[in-house]
Structure 1
Amino acid sequence: MNAGILVTGAAGFIGQALVRQLAAGDEPVFGLDIRAATQPVPGVRYEKADIRDRALVGLVARLKPRVVVHLASVVAAGGDAEQDYAIDVIGTGHVVEACLAAGVTRLVVTSSGAAYGYHADNAQPLTETDPLRGNEDFPYSRHKRLVENLLAEARAAHPALEQVVFRPCTVLGPGVSNQITAIFERPVVIGLAGSAAPFSLVSETDVVAALARAAAPASLPGIYNLAGDGTLSLAEIAGRIGKPYLPLPPALLRGVLWFANRLKLTPLGPAQVNFLQYRPVLANDRLKTGFGYVPALSAAEAFDRYWRARPAS
């Protein structure tokens, strides 16, 4: 009989926190990653594996977990598109195949709000029934959409493998450093003229708590946006941290990114302007009423907690 919880991406920011929380429970915990965990949790069995390698199928079959929580994915835009595709799409395909081969009964996956795409006509807020339109010219967004298509096909073909799919918004917590937080760190917060650019935000503690709940036998399968209540615009964020806000014309920023990308000064290109201009705002009603998890921190509270935890400059 299958037993235990396997976490892919166990050495990542969310993965390490989730493994630590799960290890306090009664089930065996397996941590799988291509990297070694910087702070291994006593009692957790760690395995080094690359989800891009189909050998993953045999490894999971030997461990026979009850649940797989799939966190191994690309978390930043603007990388190597082919490598990112291999990790996100091919890797997730291997995870699904491994679950089916090992008799896993539940698969928990972190997708992304980026799967909805960055479009001027996006609903505000977006609900789980809105179409997934991950932008073709934005690999990060396109790959998240393709991952969800793959998961939908697996749900139709293999209903015995329950799925809990989370679509997180921007995740903030102490120590987080990425392309989003880089916007806040500059002396001037740069936004886009004519766009409020509201950010849905969620605390990493709420992400970990929701994932741990999803791994429990009694939780409900389904698809859930994962976001704290409310939003913050870049102008509001600038005000909270006492920095000037500079809205640039979108055409100007596209030109700057095109030029900088040609000079290999940044991996980002003009298409990434949509990333700021048309932020997906996520409704969390289904998370609270359908899944039964109410985020502890609002968007504003998650941001303030992240900002207070930064090292003094």
Structure 2
Amino acid sequence: MGLTVAVTGPTGEIGTSVVRALERDGRVERVLGMARRPFDPASRGWTKTEYRRGDILDRPAVDALVAAADVVVHLAYVIVGSREESERINLSGTRNVFEATASAARPGRLVYTSSVAAYGYHKDNPSPITEDVPPRGSPEHYYSAQKAACERLLAETTAGLETYVLRPCVVVGPEATVLLRNMPWEQAARRVPEPLRRLLGAVPGLHPVLPDPGTRFQLVHQDDVAAAATAAVTAAGPPGAYNLAGDGEITVTDFARAIGAYAVPVPGELVGLTAELVDALPAMPAQAEWIHAVRHPMTVDTTKARRDLHWTPAHTTREALHTMARR
């Protein structure tokens, strides 16, 4: 008998790739995908996957999902939203998944997709960061703080389970476009009438501009995260935390060129002052907090995932970027 795997968030930016990878793996017999909105597995070419309607905030629905699984993969998570909404879903919902999995009789393994943001954006972080560095989070950055809080929840609630914590850097790909969709001009474009958007798009030389403080960062392709998740599901290596990133690094200038924008060099001190202003002003949109992510370099070491999970990313950081830009 093969594995039955329960997946929360199966149709999200990472979830779609993870389910595809599980579908291809001969050691997986059945995938139970729980989402709030209906989806048709057959329309996606999925033959092992069954749709379960449910919300991670609904504990009975989570209990029913995990009770039927050998392995639970928790992917459901709000990346961009209000601090209050994301905290409710990310912390309360995640607690439901962790506690339900730990108390159910059948599951023996839990795979949780955290983030390198859990380490926090701190000036004294080593570079590159290894898994030995404790996930401190950054209180001024809601996503970072919540990822670190979820890892503390994991440690508190899942004794007796084999737990795998995947910490990818920014995930990109043809379906993983949240980074691109939340650029300021993309947000503004949604409020501009379509005829005017077409007219502006036809103006020669009119391109968005991004400030580049020179901070280098990594990306990882959605399919490479899925490969690591499958390795964890099938216990290809020991339980524990694993950093995930594509080879190489890029700058904001590299990112801007790939998406058809311009980049302007700015002093790092200006980014710091802007971040402090964001913290001080009331009623700032939650997306503004992401400026903290470029205040200090954050690159991670992936030696442990390569050695213990036998994971090798198929895409470099630069290649992953271009798969998103060409979507």
Give the alignment's TM-score, normalised by structure 2. 0.81
- Partners of 1:134 and 1:144 within 8 A in 2: yes
- Partners of 2:102 and 2:157 within 8 A in 1: no
The CA deviation at 1:305 is 2.4
Q: Does 1:46 align with 2:51?
A: yes
Q: Does 1:191 align with 2:232?
A: no
Q: Match of 2:125, SS?
A: coil
Q: Does 1:136 align with 2:154?
A: no
- Partners of 1:11 and 1:35 within 8 A in 2: no
The CA deviation at 1:258 is 7.3
Q: Match of 1:55, SS?
A: helix
CA separation in 1, counterparts of 2:309 and 2:66? Answer: 29
CA separation in 1, counterparts of 2:279 and 2:88? Answer: 26
Given residue 191 of structure 1, which amino acid in structure 2 is its aligned partner? P
Mapping of residues 195-274 of structure 1, within 5 Å: 195-239=213-257, 243-248=261-266, 249-250=270-271, 253-254=274-275, 262=283, 266-269=285-288, 271-274=289-292
CA separation in 2, counterparts of 1:45 and 1:175? Answer: 21
CA separation in 1, counterparts of 2:250 and 2:217? Answer: 5
Q: What percentage of aligned pairs have identical amino acids?
A: 35
The CA deviation at 1:61 is 5.3
Counterpart in the other structure of 1:67: 71
The CA deviation at 1:96 is 1.5
CA separation in 2, counterparts of 1:59 and 1:67? Answer: 14
CA separation in 1, counterparts of 2:297 and 2:184? Answer: 16
Q: Match of 2:59, SS?
A: coil
Relative to structure 1, the CA distance from residue 99 to residue 128 in structure 2 (aligned partners, 3 Å threshold; closer, same or farther) is same
CA separation in 1, counterparts of 2:182 and 2:96? Answer: 33
Mapping of residues 57-206 of structure 1, within 5 Å: 57-60=62-65, 62-63=67-68, 65-76=69-80, 79-103=81-105, 104-154=107-157, 158-159=159-160, 161-180=161-180, 182-183=182-183, 187-192=207-212, 195-206=213-224
State how many pairs are aligned. Answer: 298
The CA deviation at 1:256 is 7.8
CA separation in 2, counterparts of 1:17 and 1:136? Answer: 31
- Partners of 1:119 and 1:278 within 8 A in 2: yes
CA separation in 2, counterparts of 1:242 and 1:82? Answer: 34
Give structure 2 stretches of 5+ with no counterpart: 187-206
Q: Does 1:23 align with 2:26?
A: no
- Partners of 1:191 and 1:197 within 8 A in 2: no
Q: Does 1:301 align with 2:319?
A: yes
CA separation in 1, counterparts of 2:265 and 2:234? Answer: 45
- Partners of 1:188 and 1:246 within 8 A in 2: no
CA separation in 2, counterparts of 1:255 and 1:132? Answer: 22
- Partners of 1:184 and 1:238 within 8 A in 2: no
CA separation in 2, counterparts of 1:93 and 1:2? Answer: 28
CA separation in 2, counterparts of 1:22 and 1:220? Answer: 19
The CA deviation at 1:203 is 0.5
Given residue 31 of structure 1, which amino acid in structure 2 is its aligned partner? G
More moved, 292-301 vs 16-25: 16-25
CA separation in 2, counterparts of 1:185 and 1:196? Answer: 21
Counterpart in the other structure of 1:284: 302
- Partners of 1:257 and 1:268 within 8 A in 2: no
Given residue 250 of structure 1, which amino acid in structure 2 is its aligned partner? V
Q: Match of 1:166, SS?
A: strand
The CA deviation at 1:136 is 1.2
Given residue 135 of structure 2, which amino acid in structure 1 is its aligned partner? L
CA separation in 1, counterparts of 2:322 and 2:303? Answer: 23
Q: Match of 1:46, SS?
A: strand
Relative to structure 1, the CA distance from residue 148 to residue 18 in structure 2 (aligned partners, 3 Å threshold; closer, same or farther) is same
Given residue 121 of structure 1, which amino acid in structure 2 is its aligned partner? D
- Partners of 2:112 and 2:165 within 8 A in 1: yes
